[in-house]
Structure 1
């Protein structure tokens, strides 16, 4: 059996090896010719060719020198494709509306989600491959962690399908997931209120909602006043935050959430 590519051996990257899955991932992002698309970790180009064929403007980010050279040679005739030699954890994200299509390294999924789903991101939609367990956690109806609820209250996270390890080279020890992310129409003016509401609820998960918030406001958000905080979905907390937001001074977002 041939050895795994050096980037995979050194950083735990598992390259997508089934073209049909790559095509499905790109198609699920619904990219148009005028769109700006960020591909994170272009690697050997399994997704890059499918993305370039959409006619959209593609920024294919890759940090490994070897793969950058190969990508340049392979896609030199694609005028809508730019190879960006950089680390996706450090590059400046586009200020205009953009899409993301990527096979994310397992170890970097949380870090990259924090960047892409931050309050000031211009991300519109994404289709990504992540580790199966990670996908199950972030797509839970009621996430267990505050950060995951923060993501889910502002973005729709849909677990599309499970992807077996055999579709990657080298194959990982666990399965992966095809995940689609769509921005929700949540006003940025209410984000401080949302973070405050979620933080209060997640500090006291076993408490009834009425111990923290006004009963009438809870009912307007379709939350029963006696309902336990741990049973309330991010969507309903977001409705409450939108209702409470106007006309009140809310604490600033934590530094890690600021641009």
Structure 2
């Protein structure tokens, strides 16, 4: 039966008994509104064919809800103190694998150990699907989502609690202030929607900002249009480093020595772009086409040192 104990009083009591406090550096803000925990689990649409990855086990309140519905739950906790307490909370579930480690090996790479466990669980039965469902620590949310989109396998869906500001960026349409490289990377492969905006007071300790439950549904129709996802990702990151500059100048600098002025003129004529066009004004489909034009000509994207 799902534990309903992740309330402020229960958490403060458990932490006091253990002599510990939530770690800000690990983004430890626990969702204590039980209805919202249920909403997150419901929005993830977990079935008995699903292998669910959770990043940030906490004390296992969401984990237990996922385990009641899923074939397997692989839950990751970086804090050994919380992992020990979560093991006690989850001892009745034989379909939960709790891994004590960082979910990331580096800024641009998920943990090999974690992904190997996920693949092994998927291989245990035919027809299994990979999903992410988590109250993501704010400090790693962007990296988890971005890297999972480039992973093999890629989740068929991601349902997460993240900062509202980040959710707004992910779903932002072109031409708006929130439209970014992350917006494009996600929308090039997923249908994205905000399920619910949630206030700080439903967390313990409360963060300083509003949050959101975000649902991403991976679309094979969209993803299949990316001929080289890694190239596209690098291209988007590079041009959005200068999002408000004219795209013509950005491309000239980025592909200096690879593209001539006439090449850029040809590109702009073909794609019906003006000299004043900025990257932030272009829809995802147009940016995909631009990347293919560059890829067809064998052009290399050189990222700045701080982007690598």
TM-score by structure 1 length? 0.79
Aligned-residue RMSD, C-alpha: 3.3
Return the alpha-carbon distance in structure 1 between the equivalents of residues 231 and 88 of structure 2.
49
Structure 2 gap ranges (5+): 1-7, 106-110, 123-128, 249-263
Q: Counterpart in 2 of 1:178?
A: 213
How many positions carry a matched residue from both structures?
251
**Once the 2 structures are TM-superposed, how far is the Cα of residue 164 of structure 1 from its aligned partner?**
1.0
**8 Å CA contact 1:205, 1:228 repeated in 2:** no
- 1:84-126 deviation per Cα after TM superposition (whole angstroms, max 9, x unaligned): 2222223322345521111112222223233223365522211
Between 59-68 and 88-97, the greater mean CA deviation after superposition: 88-97
State which of 267, 273, 297 in structure 2 corresponds to 1:213. Answer: 267
Kindly indicate whether residue 277 of structure 2 is the aligned counterpart of residue 228 of structure 1.
yes
Q: Counterpart in 2 of 1:141?
A: 173
TM-score by structure 2 length? 0.68
State which of 19, 35, 44 in structure 2 corresponds to 1:29. Answer: 44
**Once the 2 structures are TM-superposed, how far is the Cα of residue 27 of structure 1 from its aligned partner?**
1.4
Structure 1 gap ranges (5+): 219-223
Q: Counterpart in 1 of 2:187?
A: 152
**Once the 2 structures are TM-superposed, how far is the Cα of residue 54 of structure 1 from its aligned partner?**
0.5
**Once the 2 structures are TM-superposed, how far is the Cα of residue 59 of structure 1 from its aligned partner?**
0.7
Return the alpha-carbon distance in structure 2 between the equivalents of residues 121 and 232 of structure 1.
29
**8 Å CA contact 1:118, 1:257 repeated in 2:** no
SS at match of 1:126: strand
Q: How does 1:17-96 map to 2 (within 5 A)?
A: 17-90=32-105, 91-92=111-112, 93=115, 94-95=118-119
**8 Å CA contact 2:161, 2:212 repeated in 1:** yes
Which of 1 and 2 has higher RCO (CA within 8 Å, sep 6+)? 1
Larger radius of gyration: 2
Between 64-73 and 201-210, the greater mean CA deviation after superposition: 201-210
**Once the 2 structures are TM-superposed, how far is the Cα of residue 240 of structure 1 from its aligned partner?**
5.2
**8 Å CA contact 1:65, 1:85 repeated in 2:** yes
Between 232-241 and 195-204, the greater mean CA deviation after superposition: 195-204
Return the alpha-carbon distance in structure 2 between the equivalents of residues 84 and 151 of structure 1.
27
Q: Judging changes above 3 Å, is the alpha-carbon distance between structure 1 residues 7 and 212 closer, same or farther for their aligned structure 2 residues? A: farther
**Once the 2 structures are TM-superposed, how far is the Cα of residue 200 of structure 1 from its aligned partner?**
7.1
**8 Å CA contact 2:150, 2:230 repeated in 1:** no
**Once the 2 structures are TM-superposed, how far is the Cα of residue 7 of structure 1 from its aligned partner?**
5.1
